[in-house]
Structure 1
Amino acid sequence: MPPTSRAFAQSSGATSAYARHLQAASAYVSYYGGTIPTPAKYRNERDILEDHHQFIRTDEEADTEEKRIAKSYYDKLFKEFAMVELARWREKQIAMRWRTKQEVLDGKGQFSCANLSCRNHRSTLDENPDEEGGLRSVELNFEYAERGEKKHALVTARVCEECADKLRYVQRGDKSKRKRSRGSRSPSRGRHHRGRSEGGEESRRRSESPRGRRRRLDPPTRRDDSRRRRRRHHERD
């Protein structure tokens, strides 16, 4: 077997100081026994915002460092108009967030459509700074779930006519859903009462019809006929 070259021997070992430290610690534990403590999981700002960010913040004070970071990020957002995601508008599901400073400087969500998946993202300032380019200010009651709690907020979004139709479609679905939930009991009771009244009216009409009267009169008429036959038979005898 040819001898191992020096370059190959160096490349097969640990390549960094941290890797060599882990290798030495593993050898120490395997010889002397014990365990290596697991390092704490590193949390970046994205992880902190996913845990503590709120669409509408009501708390003025933050008692922990992570909440202070989330509040600092929230205070930097511009909440006059919102950005919208309508990729799943057919399922009546939308997503909304506030605009960042760079989006405000670029005119996104005010001079161009706020829908992130819209094809009409060319700013209206390119045509005429004094005109709005057919954008519509749509105000909607945004219902969302946050930390297992259902919330709602009145939000304004600047969108093109095509995306405005999509938002109206979502709003109509939410309104019809609320109407069905509010009136789900009273119509059923009304139908139930109406069904009983219609049934009683129908039975009354049947009883008053000539056919119904004939059915009630048929049995005594047959008995009368049998009695007449018996009388005639006795008279003949």
Structure 2
Amino acid sequence: MIQEQTVLITGANKGIGYEAARQLGQQGYYIFLGARQQTNGQQAVEQLQSEGIRAEYVHIDVTDPATIQSAAEQIRQQSGSLDVLINNAGIAMGGNVPSEQSIEEIRSVYEVNVFGTIQVIQAMLPLLKEAPQGRIVNVSSGLGSLAFNSDPAHEHYGANPLGYNSSKTAMNAVTVLFAKEFTDTPLKINSVDPGYTATDLNGNSGPRTVEHSAGTVIGLAVIDENGPSGQFFDETGPIPW
């Protein structure tokens, strides 16, 4: 059985997810690297292993309940518990005009960003409850903040993709409701906005590096028993819903 603290990161074969795996691995965590495609996931695991990080590939497609359940069983057999879950998998599609985005595109975004997150949390909760201090970090976005979306002075006020923005708002609601359920328990659940980061999601146009943004994400993964739960953070601290 694995003796180190463990973390499952979805969508971790590249970008912020991969870098979060690398940084947590450097801190001594055993990495369950979640990815849809085995080739990509295994290559990412081999790269981590070449740096001396203990990691293994977990086949998980957050839109496929069978892979989610098999991932939970793999982790149960390997460690019996899970210390940290980072829901990093996410997609964006469609243009910037809400009235023109198709409902099919919006559904596709919600399947990953919202329903996928819920399914993974529900499947991993028994393992997280077995850990001394389970942690869930939902990788959201400032574009999901209703306060930011309604503030003409905010820097991203003009970013208006209906499916993506509203899916991250819904993800934040998921965070709040699960956190309420586990109030007064060791389990802590938070949302994080890693910031506009250069990744494939945005054509590598963001000004932040994955190294910087991954640090923001894992800051919530390693909070102690006095840390927050049911809140929304970026690199500066708490931000409005």
Pick the structure with more helix per residue: 1
Provide TM-score, normalisation by structure 2.
0.22
Q: TM-score, normalised on structure 1?
A: 0.22
